[in-house]
Amino acid sequence: MKLISNIVVLNCLLSATTTAFNIDVLANPFNNVQKALQIHFNNNNKNIQEETWTPSYETYANQFLDSLESANFKTTSDDKEFHHWSSITTDDLPFDIQQYVDRYVIRLHNWDSDKTKEAILLSSHELGLDIWETSMVHKFVDVQVTKFQAVELFKLIMDHYESAHFELNLMIHDLPQTIFETLPIASKTLNEDEVAFEDSNAGFDASAVEMFFKKYRDLKTIYNWFDLLEQTYPELLTVERIGQTFEGRDIKALRLTAHKNDSKKVKTVVITGESRLLIHASDEPRWL
Longest CA–CA separation in the chain, Å: 115
Indicate the fold that domain 57-184 takes in CATH.
Alpha-Beta Plaits (3.30.70)
By the 8 A CB rule, do 186 and 85 touch?
yes
Domain parsing of the chain, residue ranges:
2-50, 57-184, 191-278
Sign of torsion, CA 31 33 38 39? positive
Residues of the chain short of pLDDT 70, as ranges, are: 1-54, 72-80, 188-217, 259-263, 273-288
How many whole angstroms separate alpha carbon 190 and alpha carbon 255?
Answer: 30
How many whole angstroms separate alpha carbon 109 and alpha carbon 158?
Answer: 15
Residues 6 or more apart whose CB falls under 8 angstroms from that of 89 comprise: none
109, β-bridge pairs:
140, 167
The reported pLDDT for the residue numbered 215 is 64
Amino acid occupying residue 239 = V
Alpha-carbon torsion angle 115, 121, 126, 132, nearest 10: 170
The reported pLDDT for the residue numbered 114 is 95
DSSP string of the chain? -HHHHHHHHHHHHHT-------GGG-----HHHHHHHHHHHHHHHHHHHHPPP---HHHHHHHHHHHHHHS----TTT-SSB--GGGS-GGGSSS-GGGGTT-EEEEEE--SSHHHHHHHHHHHHHTT-EEEEEETTTTEEEEEE-HHHHHHHHHHHHHH-TT---EEEEEES-HHHHHHTTSGGGBSS--HHHHHHHSTT----HHHHHHHHHS---HHHHHHHHHHHHHH-TTTEEEEEEEE-TTSPEEEEEEE-S-TT--S----------HHHH---SSS----
